[in-house]
Amino acid sequence: MLRNYTLSALALFILSPIPFVQAASAPAVEAKNGMVVTSQDLATQVGIDILKQGGNAIDAAVAVGYAQAVVNPCCGNIGGGGFMTIHLANGKDTFINFREMAPAAATAAMYQTPQGDLIAGSSLYGWKATGVPGTVMGMEMARRQYGKLSRQAVMAPAIKLAKDGFILTRADTDILDTTVAHFKQDPTVAKIFLRPNGSPLQPGDRLRQTDLARTLSRIAKDGPDAFYHGQFPKAVEQASKSGGGIITAQDFAQYHATELTPLTCTYRGYTFVSAPPPSSGGVTLCETLNILEGYDLKSMGVNSAAMIHTLSEALRFSYADRNTYLGDPAFVQNPITKLMDKQYAASLRDKIQKDKATPSTQIKPLVVTGEKPETTHYSIVDHYGNAVSTTYTVNGRFGAVVMAPGTGVLMNDEMDDFTTKIGAKNLYGLVQGTANSIAPGKRPLSSMSPTLVTKDGKIFLVLGSPGGSRIITITLETALNIIDFGMKPQEAVDAPRIHHQWYPDEVYYEKNGLSADTLNVLSNMGYRTVEQTPWGAAELIMVGLPGAAGVGTPTSGNDSAVSGNVRLGYLYGANDVRRPAGSARGY
């Protein structure tokens, strides 16, 4: 039997021919004590159950992280890595970095022929594409430092879901269907994610993952040692060696997660708290906000030609800096202070013409220097005042689509996030420099941007999204929709998106997201625009704070649409209709 949330979400998704261009959205989910928003409803329920059991937002984030590895296998993971941005009730902000690391045998030219040509697909599929996973280490670091519950308590729901299985819905099988051809190339993966006759799983089928249940049970009992030492890494090394990979058990033994200070910047009276390198998210987000702060976006109007021009130009300059200068801080010096300086943003504004696009070829680095969209994000707020924004990934859908026999763990293809060749495009079309070149033990640059927004020291927004290089613009535009345009939380998530990333020199926009008139004006300004199917899956929580944007929005006075206004003191969760398997739940 299909779950109710899926039927309603799918109905909205299927029956509306233009789902993202609309006068109104359904109200966000409202709650008083706690809120969890994830891209898979069963994982959302796990988070809420942990909060109701007395766990805090960090406990719920860890429980959701493990649950997503079971019920959202394309993107949730213990075979990948990511970032967690945390706001504690005592006012402290912190950041857990559990990004993957390159194996010791990795080299800068490992995906090139002797002639220097890229080997197609070599950094995307198979064992050679895999970096050392960090999720298990990161989740345990967060729980041990800031959680209240035991490891066994927060992992129990994921173990049960893996052992007993869960009934697939259409929203689940749509994602599985995208990778059926690659499932068939790995017998261990095929045994789990295809029917016994080799055909795709269907809505109503039960997906059981008994090997994964055993791996999770060992981690619950023995902690990260069960993952980074002993049986598991040996199994991975053996499978990797047989498949032409380079990752070893010793690589697992040398992995470490780190706790860092998050980056912060201000925008129109709000403070953004976001990811530092090896994420590019916080730097690029803040640099873009600093540029935009000099413009009156509200007066331009949502998705007007003037607004799209201003946003695209700001992104063009920010992504040029991102792709040129940023990398793993253990290996390169990131010019964070310079890139996040408001005076530097003002100098970039001086280069933006009012009615003309700046060709990307004209943007040169200040100094000459010698990601697939299937990430997943979730947002959590508890009644204590803690908030967690987590983004983690296996990179491409189902990662490298390889699995060591007996483990149940899909491995990432995160090596593609490195610069596999200077000047060449990666999976997301990003053209990156030497700062992000491959080196043993190095973490690849990421666009993951788990972000918190505070007002007067109190949590206002918890947000983030999957989407590869578009994560930054999804997170940015969702926040702008609320702060500059006064949208309600669900409207802010549902609104059509645009994206520019320096190269290719194109403005991408969602299907039916821009009018013909707007496209005409942009074309005359020198823009090349490209319509694409909707992308990303923003997971947003908004807190009703006094004086904050979008709180207590009045009605027009001549309509009956009086529901959905944000009330003081309440929590509002908005799941993205672009990912109908997800949900927002509160209590």
Give the CA distances from residue 466 to residues 148, 247, 273, 448, in Å, rounded to whole numbers and listed in that order: 28, 26, 18, 7
What distance in Å separates the CA atoms of residue 264 and residue 283, rounded to the nearest whole number? 9
CB 36 within 8 A of CB 380: yes
- How long a stretch of residues is the chain? 587
Pairs from 351-354 (Cβ < 8 Å, separation ≥ 24): 351/317, 352/291, 352/310, 352/313, 352/314, 352/317
Give the CA distances from residue 386 to residues 30, 318, 515, in Å, rounded to whole numbers and listed in that order: 18, 31, 41
Strand partners, 529: 507
What distance in Å separates the CA atoms of residue 530 and residue 498, rounded to the nearest whole number? 10
CB 380 within 8 A of CB 47: yes
Strand partners, 375: 393
- Helix pair angle (135-146, 57-71), 10° resolution: 160
**Annotated catalytic residue: which of 375, 376, 407, 419?**
375
What distance in Å separates the CA atoms of residue 425 and residue 230, rounded to the nearest whole number? 38
The residue to which tokens 């309509």 are assigned: 559
CB 375 within 8 A of CB 471: yes
The strand pair at 458-463 and 498-499 is best described as unpaired
Strand partners, 504: none
- Specify the amino acid at residue 1: M
- Among this protein's residues, is 107 annotated catalytic? no
- Specify the amino acid at residue 538: A
Three-state DSSP class for 455?
A: strand
The 10 Å Cβ neighbour count of residue 401 is 25
Beta strands in 492-582 (DSSP E): 498-499, 507-510, 529-532, 539-543, 571-575
Residue positions annotated with a catalytic role = 375
